Structures are given as C-alpha cells and as structure tokens.
C-alpha cells in the first residue's frame, strides 16, 4: 500500500488545515492538497492526503472512511496513479500520415 490517499465527498468549505488536523489522528501527515477548478476557482470536492508511512495510511483509511466532516460522510481510499493519455491530436497514430 502506498502513502497517498484520496479523500472524496468533501464539502466545498473543508480546508487543508481541517484535513491535516483530522488525518493527524492516524499519524504524521506529509502533505494535503485540495484541487481547485480552473474555471470556477472553487474546490472540486475531493483532496489528496499523503501520510508518512503506508501503515499510517492504512490506519487513516480504517479510522476515517465514513467520518463526518462539515456535514458530509467522507470517503477515504488509497489514491490511484494518474492515467495520462499521451496520444497526439491526429487520432490514434499520433501524427500525420502522408
């Protein structure tokens, strides 16, 4: 298990400080990130929390999944790696065919 966690179903009012305090109950929090929507400049309703060890990450999932934060039951899971599409703009081949 990794150390990075996905935290879903967040209220748009939840802050990084609140998440850091909440997750510190399970261990050392290395970082907290709440993505912001480019167009609206408001939070997107989820966050990423990185714990110091995989054991602490597992403990955080067990302790905090379903916990109520700002009136919402949060979901806490191990974060999956981002899938990136490196295809070109010209269909599957990624380039022009002459």
Residue 96 lies in a domain: no
Residue 85 lies in a domain: no
What pLDDT, in 10s, does the model give residues 62-72?
A: 999 999 999 99
Q: Residue 43 belongs to what domain range? A: 4-78
Paired with 77 in beta bridges are: 6
pLDDT confidence of residue 86 = 62
CA atoms of 92 and 96, how far apart (whole Å): 10
pLDDT at 30 over 90: yes
Residue with tokens 């996905």: 6
- 50 contacts 30 by C-beta, under 8 angstroms: yes
How is residue 24 written in tokens? Answer: 């510190």
CATH number of the domain where residue 72 is located: 3.30.70.330
**Total domains present in the chain:** 1
pTM metric for this prediction: 0.81
Q: How confident is the model at residue 93 (pLDDT cuts 50, 70, 90)?
A: low
- 23 contacts 60 by C-beta, under 8 angstroms: yes
């Amino acid at each position: 298990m990794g150390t990075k966690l996905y935290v879903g179903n967040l209220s748009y009012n939840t802050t990084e400080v609140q998440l850091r305090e909440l997750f510190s109950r399970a261990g050392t929090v290395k970082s907290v990130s709440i993505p912001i929507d480019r167009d609206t400049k408001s939070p997107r309703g989820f966050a990423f929390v990185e714990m110091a060890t995989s054991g602490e990450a597992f403990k955080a999932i067990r302790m905090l999944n379903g916990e109520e934060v700002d009136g919402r039951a949060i979901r806490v899971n191990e974060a999956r790696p981002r899938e990136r599409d490196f295809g070109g703009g010209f269909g599957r081949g990624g380039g022009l065919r002459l």
